[in-house]
Structure 1
Amino acid sequence: MILWKRLKSDKLAVVCIIILFVILLAGVLAPVITPNSPIETNITQKFQSMSMKYPFGTDQLGRCLFSRILYGVRTTVILSILTMIITILIGTILGMISGFFGGFVDEIIMRICDIMLSFPSEVMILSIVGILGPGLFNVIIANIIAKWVWYTRMIRSIVLQYRDKNYIKFARVSGCSTWHIIKKHLVPGVAGEIIVLATLDTGWVILNISALSFLGLGVQPPIPEWGMMLNEAKNIMTTHPTQMLPAGIAILVVVAAFNFLGDSLQVALDPKKHGKLKEVIK
C-alpha cells in the first residue's frame, strides 16, 4: 500500500503503468480485437494506407500491420516477462543459497558465476542461439542462461547485507528454521530490489529478443514479432519507410515505459530518495 501511494504521486510512473497495462491487455485480447488475421497474406492489398479495415496499413505481403503489432505483444513483451520471471526465480534461489549458507556451496556457485561472467552476455546469447539454432524457444533459453548469473551475484550481495542483521540473528537464536528465516525475513527484504532490477531488465530482454529476430536468429516467419517486422520492413525502407514505424515505435514505447517505471520504483522503495525527489519538485 505504501509503495502504491508513492507511485501514485509520481505521474510518470502512473503513465508507464497505464501504458504497459493497456499494451499487455491488448496482447492478451488480440484474437478478439484484431480486425484481420496477422499471418494471412493478400498481395492485392499490399502497402495499403491507414483505414478502418487496416488501422496501420498493410505490409509488402498484404498483412494487417495493426493485427501483427497486437499479436507481437505476445511474442515480444509477454514472453520477455516470462523470461525475466524464470531468470529471477533461478537467480533468487541460487543467490539466497549462496549468500545465506556460504562455505563450500557459495564457492562453487560463485566460481561458476565468475566463469559465466567472463563472457559478454551478448556474445554468449549469440553463441547459444548459434549452437541451438534459430527459434523463439532457443532465444528464451539463451537469455536465461546469459542473465541468471548476474542475478545470482546481485541477490547474493543483497542477502549478505541482511544476513547479519539483528532480527536474523534473533530468529536463529530463537530456533526458527532456515526456511522460516528465508521466507519471513530474507525474501521480503530483497523483494523490493529484485522488482526494481527485473523491471529495468525487462526492457533489455525485449531489445535482445527483437534484435535476434531482426538478425533472423529469433522468431521465424510467419509468427508476428516486432524485431522480425523491422527486419522485413528494412528491405523496402527506401520505397516505403513508414513500414518501419509501427514496430519501431512499439519497441521504443514499451522499453521506455519499463525503464521509467523501474526508475520510479527505485525511488519509491527508497524513502530517502523519495524524500529528496519531493524536495526537488517543491
Structure 2
Amino acid sequence: MVVWKRLKSDKLAIVCIIILCVILIAGILAPVVSPNNPIEVNVKQKFAAMSMKYPFGTDNLGRCILSRMLYGIRTTVMLAIVTMITTICIGTILGMISGFFRGFIDEVIMRICDIMLSFPSEVMILAIVGILGPGLFNVVIANIIAKWAWYTRMIRSIIIQYTDKNYIKFAKVSGCSTWHIMKKHLVPGVVGEIGVLATLDTGWVILNISALSFLGLGVQAPTPEWGMMLNEAKNIMTTHPTQMLAPGIAILIVVAAFNFLGDSLQVALDPKKHSKMKGVTE
C-alpha cells in the first residue's frame, strides 16, 4: 500500500501504467476491436491509404495494419510477459533455495549458474533457436534458458540480505518451519525487488522476441507480430517507409513504458530515493 501511494504521486509511473493497461486490454480484446481479419490477403488493396475500413492502411499483401498491430500485442507483449513470469518463478525458487539453505545445494546451483552466465545471453538465444528451429514456443524456451541463471543469482543475493535480518533469525530460533519463514517473511520482503527486476527486463524480452522475428528465427508468417511486421516492411523501406512506423513506434513505446515503470518502482521501494525525488519535483 505504501509503494502504491508513492507510485500515485509519480505522474510518469501513472502514465506508463495507463499505457500498458490500454495496450494489454487492446490485445485481449483484439478479436472484438480489430476492424479486419489480420491474416486476410487482398492484393488488390495493397498499400491502401488510411481510411475508415483500414485506419492504418494496408501492407504489401493488402492486410490491415491496425488489425495486425492489435493481434501482434498477443505475440509480442503478452508472450514477453509470460516468458518473464516463467523465468522469474524459476529464478525465485532456485534463488530462495540457494540463498536460504546455503551449503552444498548452494554451491551446486551457483556453479551451474556460473556456467550458464559464461555465455552471452544473445548468442545463447540465437544458438538455442538455431538448434530447436524457429517458432513461438522455441523463442520462449530460448529466452527462459538464457535468463534463469541471472535471476537465480540476483534473487539469491536478495534472499541472503534478508536472511541476515534479526526478525528472520528470531523466527528460526522460535522454531518456525522453513515453509512458514519463506511464506510469511521472505516472500513479502523480496517480492517488490523481484517486481522491479521483472519490469525492467520485460522490455529486454520484447526486444529479443521482436529481433528474432525480424531475423526470421522467431514467430513465423502469417502470425501477426511486431518484429515480423518490421521484417516484411524492410523490403519496401525505400518505396513505402511508413510501413515501418506503426510496429517500430509500438515497440519503442512499450519498451520505454516498462523501463520507466521499473525505474519508478525502484524509487518507490526506496524511501530515501523517493524523498529525494519528491523534493526535486516540489
Match of 2:261 in 1: 261
* C-alpha distance in 2 between matches for 1:11 and 1:280: 14
Question: What is the deviation of 1:189?
Answer: 1.1
For the pair 1:134 / 2:128, whether they are aligned, the reply is no
Match of 2:242 in 1: 242
Gaps of 5+ in 1: none
Question: What is the deviation of 1:123?
Answer: 0.3
* C-alpha distance in 1 between matches for 2:144 and 2:77: 15
* C-alpha distance in 1 between matches for 2:189 and 2:151: 16
* C-alpha distance in 2 between matches for 1:6 and 1:163: 27
**Aligned partner letter, 1:220:** Q
Matches within 5 A, 1:131-280: 131-280=131-280
* C-alpha distance in 1 between matches for 2:58 and 2:130: 32
Question: What is the deviation of 1:5?
Answer: 1.1
Cα-to-partner distance string for 1:108-165 (whole Å, 9 max, x where unaligned)? 0000000000000000000000000000100000000000000000000001101121
**Aligned partner letter, 2:97:** I
Question: What is the deviation of 1:4?
Answer: 1.5
* C-alpha distance in 2 between matches for 1:164 and 1:276: 28
Q: TM-score when scaled to structure 2?
A: 0.99
- Where 2:55 maps in the other structure, the secondary structure is coil
Q: TM-score when scaled to structure 1?
A: 0.99
Question: What is the deviation of 1:280?
Answer: 1.4
Match of 2:12 in 1: 12
* C-alpha distance in 1 between matches for 2:35 and 2:59: 15
* C-alpha distance in 2 between matches for 1:227 and 1:110: 35
- Where 1:193 maps in the other structure, the secondary structure is helix
* C-alpha distance in 2 between matches for 1:150 and 1:273: 25
**Aligned partner letter, 1:236:** I
CA RMSD of aligned residues (A): 0.5
Cα-to-partner distance string for 1:178-235 (whole Å, 9 max, x where unaligned)? 0000111111111110000000000000000000000000000000000000000000
For the pair 1:55 / 2:59, whether they are aligned, the reply is no
- Where 1:86 maps in the other structure, the secondary structure is helix
Gaps of 5+ in 2: none
Residue identity over aligned pairs, in percent, reads: 83
Question: What is the deviation of 1:279?
Answer: 1.2
**Aligned partner letter, 2:44:** T
Question: What is the deviation of 1:281?
Answer: 1.5
* C-alpha distance in 1 between matches for 2:121 and 2:81: 18
**Aligned partner letter, 1:251:** I
* C-alpha distance in 2 between matches for 1:115 and 1:245: 40
* C-alpha distance in 1 between matches for 2:227 and 2:221: 11
* C-alpha distance in 2 between matches for 1:164 and 1:227: 45
* C-alpha distance in 2 between matches for 1:109 and 1:52: 57
**Aligned partner letter, 2:139:** V
**Aligned partner letter, 1:85:** I
Question: What is the deviation of 1:107?
Answer: 0.4
* C-alpha distance in 2 between matches for 1:125 and 1:189: 32
- Where 1:31 maps in the other structure, the secondary structure is helix
Cα-to-partner distance string for 1:242-271 (whole Å, 9 max, x where unaligned)? 000000000000000000000001001111
* C-alpha distance in 2 between matches for 1:12 and 1:163: 34
- Where 1:116 maps in the other structure, the secondary structure is helix
**Aligned partner letter, 1:83:** T
